[in-house]
Structure 1
């Protein structure tokens, strides 16, 4: 074997002739040697063939057949090159060996048991934390784990039985037998001092209850008594003279007041009236008897204070003043009402109202005169054909439906008005009652008794109320040709502000002012035209 047959294994007697095959990536492998000019580290003996990696110790030579198998030969290396690039003496591998240490080898402590249980691999599992290199990125190859609500953050929280349940707790509790008196006293299940305590407590409760009952019974007085004798006053026999003014007036007037009943096949109405003449004439309101006047089959009756019911007939009625006169026949000993003078009424004067409010006959209420000359319109409705404006007396005496036609009397027992209307929000009296002045009603009644009809004064205009920042009064809308107003120079759109000395603030007030005059009477008046005020006189005519 020549110098050019350098083997890949190190030579020398120190290694016992053992040769090691070099890995393919060794810088002194056969391929690398060819690439670098066939440089072989010094000290390696080269046989006639390339040694295999499975060479065993003791193989110091090769056979001639082996030399024939290795046809490739290395390039000769000069001694200088081998000295520079060859393997140092005593080095068996391709790289320097790790120096041996004479100290003790480091010992790796076993992991903490708690940490190993928390972060270690489960027992019996061979899974690693590495991803399968053949798996696609972002796609897990792990088998889906079974659902575990304790580890699923999206699981719904719910109350359930505990994971660990005491088997003894699952057994249903069975109530024991109830204690009887015998068990309680002689069964030795209750101690003697507990029984003594219960006995003392029961005794105390009974004692306290008895004391409370005893003292309570002594304090409470009996509800019934056979020694009480009630007494009455000595002035209530009714036979003496009435002590109050209202009582005296009521006693003097009550027999002249009547109830007026109207019955038809489908309706029933009640009003009031009073006797104005001993011949049987009775004065009432037109709206009380208008149903009987318009229905010949209606039954009209008058009921006196002694409950005597008498048929009545209509003498005459006036829808423009809401007055009517009735007549009864064959009634003896009629009490005629005393007629007063309503022109002398004072505001604040006491008055008494009579009638049958809500069908309650012989009712008396009292109040005062709240105002006079109050223009109150009475338009027609489904039950009455009355179409009037009355110059009313206002009173706070209670007047309700059924009082209509009854007398309004002063303290002298004189009739000063006829109860006619109320102002009410819900059908009841609220202290605003209105009565026709008797001084205006008597002439109408006289005309009805005499002629059966009534003529009224008029001035030949139609008007409406005017209220603005320039004028307040009754605005003329139409003027009858050659009528009293036309002859007095009144034109359309004039505003009448005064009539016969009475201030006019509305069309209703003009109506009642004209009605209070006499037919053919010449009266002064004031009117407004185009911002100027004019005075004139006008003569009323019959309607």
Structure 2
């Protein structure tokens, strides 16, 4: 800096100030005149020649400026942290409003990055007490007579020992008297003397009288096996059963047909004759000495609720007996052909709740007098087992069929020359005629298509199956009365069945 120039400026300023007080300024000044107000603000105090006033007692021309307190926000942002007057800034990682906590003292035992150094152990090692020598052992003599144990302590120990012994003895005696031993060599189990060999119930009496006349029927082919039942009806070895039991043997010449008697004796059997329309068949066995023949009863005298017993081999379990009652009579039950049977029949069945399952077929249904009143034929088994709905062919319908099969080997059946279906509506209930054979019994009796037969031979007809049963129980060549409905009117007539 040019100090000479500075000095010249200061002299000019001084002359200007002096001129303001009344002195005349040189005409050659390069500066404009300075107002008194500007000189008061920017001029030097009186007596000061330099840049700074060196006199501590110099008279100032005005009060010293006052510094206002800083704004709290700025003080918080830019002020020193509390208690740290020797630092110029706060920790940049510190959170606002959270007081700084001092670091915990360094712990080299918990710091994996600490360097090796000599220091105190982590845990103080306890100082072990000085070992002491064991004292002498006390013997019985020392305890009792050496006065090493107080006499009242000995007395107390003796009383306790006595009480423990007494208590243990009492408990042992009580357990010996109350708790019996689990095992014994003196026990012998006894049985009743028995009530003899006589039957002890009506079912047992019937079973003993009938069981030897019942047989199991075993059919075996190269691809299938079948089991059924039957019963002996003549001393010459004739056996009656269902047609569906022996259908496989009748239709397969290489099939093996055997009859199994009560004593498990197996005998080959031959088919005498069979009838698919009544589901009946007759077999014959030879070289059987004194076979037990069944006693045949009268199914026309059966009563609903009468007790009956069913015999047979359900599911291959031979010599099985089940009992029940007669649940209903004259129940029409259709039997249709299937893969194992060619039976196509409608039976006029006895309904029973005696359990009848596959394999019971052909076995006898017996009354409480040990008389055969029917042949077990079918059971309703929607779930795969007996539900108390079994059906048997009445013995009074079996006898003429069996006799005819034994004599002729085949059976002729009555028919009236119609096809029918069941009808149920608000006008009529019965068997509606669908086709009439020209020149047949129904045609000659004046029956037309769409007529509804409501009664036949004194039996009410409510379905086509009931008409089939009623016709097959009639006699060939004998006129029977019947009733039919046509166009809202009812008519009566006679019809004479003829052979099929």
Fold-level match, TM-score > 0.5?
Answer: yes
Separation of aligned partners in 1, 2:492 and 2:409: 38
User: What is the distance in 1 between the residues matched to 2:18 and 2:177?
Assistant: 138
For residue 404 of structure 1, report the CA deviation from its aligned partner: 0.6
- 1:230 match: 190
Aligned residues of 2:228 and 2:312 also touching (Cα < 8 A): yes
Match of 1:66 among 6, 9, 28: 28
Pairs within 5 Å for 1:336-375: 336-375=293-332
1:303 alignment partner, one of 244, 253, 260: 260
Show CA shifts across 1:114-144 (max 9, x none). Answer: x877455577889xxxxxxxxxxxxxxxxxx
CA contact (8 A) 2:16 2:25 kept: no
Structure 2 residue 441 is the aligned partner of structure 1 residue 481: no
Selected match of 1:500 from 457, 460, 471: 457
Displacement of 1:64: 5.2
- Report how far residue 401 of structure 1 moved: 1.1
Residue 251 of structure 1 corresponds to which residue in structure 2?
208
1:521 Cα deviation (Å)? 1.9
* Alignment partners' CA distance in 1, 2:306 and 2:281: 27
- The alpha-carbon distance between structure 1 residues 103 and 284, as it changes in their structure 2 partners (threshold 3 A), is same
Change (3 A) 1:234 1:535: same
Distance 1:484 1:414 in 2: 38
Counterparts of 1:353 and 1:449, CA distance in 2: 25
Whether 1:282 and 2:244 are equivalent positions in the alignment is no
**Aligned-partner Cα distance in 2 for 1:497–1:166:** 116
Give the secondary-structure state (helix, strand or coil) at the position aligned to 2:328: strand
Q: How many residues align?
A: 417
Alignment partner, residue 444 of structure 1: 401
User: TM-score scaled to structure 2, two decimals?
Assistant: 0.72
Question: How far did residue 110 of structure 1 move?
Answer: 7.8
Q: CA deviation at 1:53?
A: 7.9
Q: Could you tell me how far apart the structure 2 residues matched to 1:357 and 1:499 are?
A: 37
Deviation string 1:314-356 (CA, Å, 9 cap, x unpaired) is 0111111110000001111011111111111000111111111
Range with bigger deviation, 454-463 or 115-124: 115-124
The counterpart of 1:221, out of the listed 164, 180, 183, is 180
Q: Is the 8 A contact 2:15 2:25 kept in 1?
A: no
Q: Name the CA shift for 1:168/1:355 in 2 (closer, same or farther; >3 Å).
A: farther
In structure 1, C-alpha distance between the alignment counterparts of 2:381 and 2:177, rounded to whole Å: 58
TM-score by length of 1: 0.66
Q: Which residue of 1 aligns with 2:278?
A: 321
- How big is each residue's C-alpha offset from its partner over 1:339-389, in whole Å with a ceiling of 9 and x where there is no partner? 111111000111111111111111111111000101111111111111111
Q: 1:405-424 to 2 correspondence within 5 Å? A: 405-424=362-381
Among 401, 426, 434, the alignment partner of 2:383 is 426
Deviation at 1:227, TM superposition (A): 3.3
Measure the CA separation in 2 of the matches of 1:542 and 1:247.
Answer: 44
Distance in 2 (alpha carbons) for counterparts of 1:437 and 1:414:
12
Question: SS of 2:378's equivalent?
Answer: strand
* C-alpha distance 164-378 of structure 1, shift in aligned 2 (>3 A): farther
* Secondary structure in 2 matching 1:250: helix
1:461 matches 2:442: no
- Tell me how far 1:522 sits from its aligned partner: 1.1
Specify every segment of 5 or more residues in structure 1 that has no aligned partner in the other structure, as ranges: 1-50, 74-85, 94-99, 127-145, 152-162, 187-202
Question: 1:269-288, CA deviations, whole angstroms, 9 ceiling, x for partnerless residues?
Answer: 11100011111110000111
Q: Is the 8 A contact 2:274 2:405 kept in 1?
A: yes
What is the DSSP-based 3-state SS (H/G/I as helix, E as strand, rest coil) of the residue aligned with 2:230? strand
- Secondary structure of 2:219's counterpart equals strand
Question: Contact 2:217–2:227 at 8 Å: present in 1 too?
Answer: yes
Which residue in the other structure is 1:193 paired with? none
Q: Deviation at 1:167? A: 5.1
| Long gaps (5+) in structure 2 | 1-10, 42-59, 82-86, 97-102, 113-121, 136-160
Q: 1:64 to 1:92 in 2, by over 3 A?
A: closer
Distance 1:169 1:368, change over 3 A: farther
Please give the residue correspondences for 1:177-196 in structure 2 after superposition, counting only pairs within 5 Å.
none
